[in-house]
A = this chain, B = another copy of it.
């Protein structure tokens, strides 16, 4: 049992709305950690590109002729113009040409030529490559890191990258994508993600599918009296899907062809979470994968993007029932969005110095500890 046994306070209330704190978190957290961008498939072949924005930083991601992904600030070294106007496309010339004065860069970011007739003494094109950003592809997922010294990639994931080994991530295709803007601080979203005390009141439908959620628990051992029911296979005590349900969907039925490689325990649980703070969580279901990306837009505004990944076989089924999945998970995420906004609205009360972290909210305390360590790192 992981329940907190000490009286534990939450974050100072203004950490959720003070614009200076938000700016600090951009610098110390969002610009230092590996940030999820999208799927490798979105930039499929050589010379394809995408742009990506985080705060006021804008990037280009481009696949070079060797098939490697490169990431640069979307900024020309001449006068600072943005290099790509479109969100995505193909660099047919095999080079990045600034639309302003035609400075030309290789797909590795080297300045190949300027448009000037003659250069000033001391001007060396090698001194003016594009501003590079670290990029990493892992199992079909693309991440960037703005820092010069990116942390080890694996280190940023809980419980660990290996936990979703059974899912054929590289081979999956994006079957649907949706975006929501929530009027809350990004940390409010993660706190909500890290506890299920809210499930009975907020997620009645989900609580029917996953009965232990209806008890406000994430996990069997979150119940102080769990040992009384240790032998009880009822999912109300043991966790996992209700009897008869096979996945997270409106009717509990799978959509298309389930992944063959998933072990029985994970089938029973119905959902396996891999968390990559601060920007993503990936949920493996038996028949699909859900990828939720966060982007902080302002101190009190956060964007969510949800991608639904399927096998090619499932996507090509004649009666592929996307709504069975999307309508269910969108309901749950809309419920979460609504309470996150409700949480944000109450935080400004002048006497509210901060809240309380309850015993079942042990994962929120872990989140707060992670946050404190990252904010203190020089």
A123 to chain B, nearest CB (A): 5
User: Are A117 and B224 closer than 8 Å at their CB atoms?
Assistant: yes
Knowing A131-B351, A191-B79, A223-B117, the reply to whether A102 touches B346 (Cβ < 8 A) is no
Q: Say yes or no: is A378 at the interface (Cβ < 8 Å to chain B).
A: no
A147 to chain B, nearest CB (A): 10
User: Are A56 and B348 closer than 8 Å at their CB atoms?
Assistant: yes
A100 to chain B, nearest CB (A): 5
User: Are B7 and A100 closer than 8 Å at their CB atoms?
Assistant: no
Knowing A74-B349, A80-B13, the reply to whether A120 touches B359 (Cβ < 8 A) is yes
Knowing A73-B352, A77-B356, A100-B339, the reply to whether A345 touches B198 (Cβ < 8 A) is no
**Oligomeric state, in number of copies?**
3
Complex Cα–Cα for A200 and B99 (A): 10
User: Are B99 and A339 closer than 8 Å at their CB atoms?
Assistant: yes
Q: Say yes or no: is A128 at the interface (Cβ < 8 Å to chain B).
A: yes
Knowing A352-B131, A360-B116, the reply to whether A346 touches B82 (Cβ < 8 A) is yes
Which residues of A281-306 are within 8 A (CB) of B? none
Which residues of A341-378 are within 8 A (CB) of B? 342-343, 345-352, 354-356, 358-360
Complex Cα–Cα for A350 and B83 (A): 16
What's the tally of chain A residues with a CB closer than 8 Å to chain B?
A: 69
Complex Cα–Cα for A114 and B7 (A): 14
Complex Cα–Cα for A102 and B200 (A): 9
Q: Which residues of B contact A123 (CB under 8 A)?
A: 7, 356
Knowing A80-B355, A198-B100, A342-B85, the reply to whether A348 touches B57 (Cβ < 8 A) is yes
Q: For A97, give the chain B residue with the smallest CB separation.
A: B201
Q: Say yes or no: is A166 at the interface (Cβ < 8 Å to chain B).
A: no
Knowing A77-B356, A120-B7, A197-B116, the reply to whether A100 touches B342 (Cβ < 8 A) is yes
Encode contact with B along A113-154: 1 for CB under 8 Å, 0 otherwise.
011111111110000100100000000000000100000000
Complex Cα–Cα for A13 and B118 (A): 25
A332 to chain B, nearest CB (A): 15
Knowing A80-B352, A347-B75, the reply to whether A197 touches B146 (Cβ < 8 A) is no
A69 to chain B, nearest CB (A): 19
User: Are B8 and A120 closer than 8 Å at their CB atoms?
Assistant: yes
Complex Cα–Cα for A348 and B146 (A): 14
Q: Say yes or no: is A76 at the interface (Cβ < 8 Å to chain B).
A: yes
Q: Say yes or no: is A31 at the interface (Cβ < 8 Å to chain B).
A: yes
Instruction: Give residues in A with beta carbon < 8 Å to B.
Output: 3-8, 10, 13, 16, 31, 56-58, 73-83, 85, 99-102, 114-123, 128, 131, 146, 191, 197-198, 200-202, 216, 223-225, 339, 342-343, 345-352, 354-356, 358-360
**In the complex, given contacts A100-B342, A114-B358, what are 11 additional A-B residue pairs having Cβ atoms less than 8 angstroms apart?**
A4-B120, A6-B121, A73-B352, A75-B347, A75-B349, A75-B352, A80-B354, A81-B339, A100-B339, A115-B216, A120-B358
